[in-house]
């Protein structure tokens, strides 16, 4: 019999922020946690019956609910403290000191609930020279040293969207830290502060290439090594129809299958390690791949060990269900599976994400401030409007009788 999702029953308060914080919340909600996002109140807009509130720009809202709270109001702050009594996790996505100034820092909330796990994430290190500065993914990659590794030979360093620092080094790393704190709490009975920052997260992810800088694997300079675009049998190649194939034939036996599939002379097998022949090899690969369409090359290499696969694009992944890149949960737990990525917007309790159609996991629908929040407060925290909280200036506030 299949059991409940692994984090079912875990109560998470996620302060609305930019992508890394919501991504950590998304990883928790996909694993079954009850994630309640705390949005800013909009006077006259949120929690007002008959008023349609537009969704926020945050598309990482799958399985989440929202309440809007005026954090400038003492009654709004009191509501957060009341929720913290029963919460398991706090996600703080703000710059250092923001929640502390509001009276919602880890010392305060931990005194209210010693079991609470206070997860907070910054871009730069809290104790570093850039701690007080604003920044984005590209800046965190830059000062971590990772950006110096990225890009082609003779070109400027080039960041890969905001995947590496924001999401991998930030949101996913904070998620990992929260899980470790949950495990620790099982032993000690106490929560703790989980510190994450995108500089350290990105640097840790780059452990292998950083170490390889002092070995033949990576000591040739940016864009000249085996795994960074310098090697012709670890690269991408344009096909006749303007699409691309990826090649990663590093091992000799795989390289031999690639050469055979390309219809090239077997003499190339003996020259694969000779860097002097790499420019000629790259030219040969380029002209050969341009002789057929991507679909034709797929027919050649599918089912082989050539380490040659198509570079699929998201529009075709959305239109062609069953492709390898069709979005699913990142890991599969056989006995306690994660929640579905493709959730129908009409499903009971569905919040903010996609449709049940193929490719629905690629379509984000922003969560409206206040959407599903009152139901979540009743179900997860036992709080009811009128009895425990009211609405003031578009945000929820704790009633005086329950205020801390």
Active site residues: 166
Q: Are 403 and 78 in contact (CB under 8 A)?
A: yes
Q: Are 130 and 157 in contact (CB under 8 A)?
A: no
Q: Which residues contact 393 (CB under 8 A, 6 or more apart)?
A: 41, 43, 44, 70, 73
User: CA 73, 78, 83, 86: dihedral to nearest 10 degrees?
Assistant: 160
Nearest Cα residue to 52 out of 61, 42, 62, 60: 42
Nearest Cα residue to 404 out of 93, 84, 1: 84
- What is the b/e burial string over 304-332, where b = at least 16 CB atoms within 10 angstroms of the residue's CB? eebbbebebeeeebbeeeeeeebeeeeee
Mapped onto helix, strand or coil, the DSSP state of residue 306 is coil
Adjacent-strand bridge partners of 310: 245
Rounded to whole angstroms, what are the CA distances from 196 to 100, 205, 239, 288? 17, 13, 42, 47
Mapped onto helix, strand or coil, the DSSP state of residue 401 is helix
Adjacent-strand bridge partners of 391: 396
């Amino acid at each position: 019999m299949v059991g409940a999702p692994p984090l079912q029953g875990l109560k998470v308060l996620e302060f609305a922020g930019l992508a890394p914080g919501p991504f950590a919340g998304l990883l928790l909600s996909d694993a079954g946690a009850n994630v309640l996002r705390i949005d800013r109140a909009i006077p006259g807009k949120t929690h007002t019956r008959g008023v349609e509130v537009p969704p926020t720009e945050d598309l990482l809202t799958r399985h989440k609910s929202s309440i809007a709270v005026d954090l400038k109001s003492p009654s709004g702050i009191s509501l957060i403290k009341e929720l913290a009594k029963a919460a398991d996790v706090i996600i703080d996505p703000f710059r250092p000191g923001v929640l502390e100034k509001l009276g919602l820092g880890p010392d305060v909330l931990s005194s209210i609930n010693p079991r609470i796990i206070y997860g907070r994430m910054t871009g730069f290190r809290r104790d570093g020279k850039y701690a007080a500065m604003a920044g984005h993914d590209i800046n965190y990659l830059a000062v971590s040293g990772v950006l110096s590794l990225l890009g082609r030979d003779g070109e400027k360093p080039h960041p890969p969207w905001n995947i590496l620092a924001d999401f991998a080094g930030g949101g996913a790393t904070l998620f990992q830290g929260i899980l470790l704190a949950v495990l620790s709490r099982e032993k000690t009975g106490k929560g703790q502060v989980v510190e994450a920052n995108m500089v350290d997260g990105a640097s840790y992810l780059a452990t292998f290439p950083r170490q390889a800088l002092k070995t033949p694997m990576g000591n040739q300079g940016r864009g000249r090594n085996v795994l960074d675009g310098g090697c012709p049998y670890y690269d991408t190649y344009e096909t006749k129809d303007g699409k691309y194939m990826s090649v990663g034939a590093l091992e000799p036996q795989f390289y031999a299958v690639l050469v055979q599939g390309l219809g090239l002379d077997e003499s190339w097998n003996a020259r694969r390690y000779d860097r002097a022949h790499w420019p000629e090899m790259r030219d040969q690969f380029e002209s050969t791949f341009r002789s057929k369409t991507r679909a034709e090359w797929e027919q050649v290499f599918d089912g082989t060990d050539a380490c040659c696969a198509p570079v699929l694009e998201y529009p075709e992944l959305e239109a062609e269900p069953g492709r390898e890149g069709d979005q699913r949960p990142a890991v599969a737990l056989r006995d306690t599976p994660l929640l579905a990525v493709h959730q129908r917007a009409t499903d009971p309790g569905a919040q903010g994400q996609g449709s049940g159609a193929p490719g629905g996991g690629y379509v984000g629908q922003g969560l409206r401030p206040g959407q599903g929040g009152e139901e979540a407060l009743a179900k997860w925290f036992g709080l009811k409007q009128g009895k425990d909280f009211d609405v003031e200036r578009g945000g929820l506030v704790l009633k005086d009788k329950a205020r801390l």
